[in-house]
Chains A and B, each alone.
Chain A
């Protein structure tokens, strides 16, 4: 079956460091992959989308890589700040174009002063 795996353990890092979160998927070759941020008690908020023919995408302090051979995406936050503390979700459309997203369980990031 198709699965998305994200590290369930919280990631604690010091302010100013780069946070790296991992998203692994199995049994599928998605055309694109998305990353969302979710704060406690709120709905997910879209951050970045990367397509299979894009190895890397950047937006301000955020960077996403997409390795279709390893079936893995890495999500980086450079110069992290306490305000970056949240849960980060990756999502794929396993149906191949119907825009029906399947989400990973998310990784909680805590940025400490």
Chain B
């Protein structure tokens, strides 16, 4: 049972560089999310997707883009990295229905922008 897998686990970028974080889930979940976690700020939602081919903005979307071309994958892109994007990024997935269902998280990607 792989669950939610994030690639890479660590990355250092120079200001202005671009990169893509990959999230893959094998639970056939409809909903997928990207969060960032910073000290004292908690988890903040960047973008999310309610199904293949759909994406929506979360709380802190600026500077990020996402794509959900396949149901099992959710990509987070940084077109021009900035030091303010130094953070730990978590991907999560959940079922679409119900009065609340649990979210499954990946192990995180620690990104440093210098």
> Which residues of A are at the interface with B, using a C-beta cutoff of 8 A?
8, 31-32, 34, 41-46, 49, 51, 89, 91, 93, 97-106
Contact = CB atoms under 8 A, between A and B. Distances in A.
B106 A43 contact: yes
B102 A100 contact: no
A49 B103 CA distance: 11
B40 A8 contact: yes
Interface stretch (B13-21, B73-81, B92-100): B92-100
Contacts of A51: 99-100
A93 B100 contact: yes
Interface of B: 4, 31, 33, 35, 40-43, 45, 48, 50, 58-59, 90, 92, 94-96, 98-108
A89 B48 CA distance: 20
B52 to A, nearest CB: 16
B27 to A, nearest CB: 13
Nearest to A53: B99
Contact of B40 (A42, A44, A105): A105
A27 to B, nearest CB: 16
Contacts of A100: 33, 45, 48, 58
A75 B60 CA distance: 28
Contacts, number: 62
A103 B94 contact: no
A93 B50 CA distance: 14
B41 A105 contact: yes
A21 to B, nearest CB: 14
A49 B102 contact: yes
Contact of B42 (A31, A41, A49, A103): A103
Contacts of A102: 45, 59
B37 to A, nearest CB: 9
Nearest to B39: A105
A44 B107 CA distance: 8
20 contacts: A31-B100, A32-B99, A34-B100, A34-B103, A42-B108, A44-B105, A45-B105, A46-B103, A51-B100, A89-B43, A93-B100, A99-B31, A99-B94, A99-B100, A99-B101, A101-B33, A101-B45, A101-B103, A104-B42, A106-B42
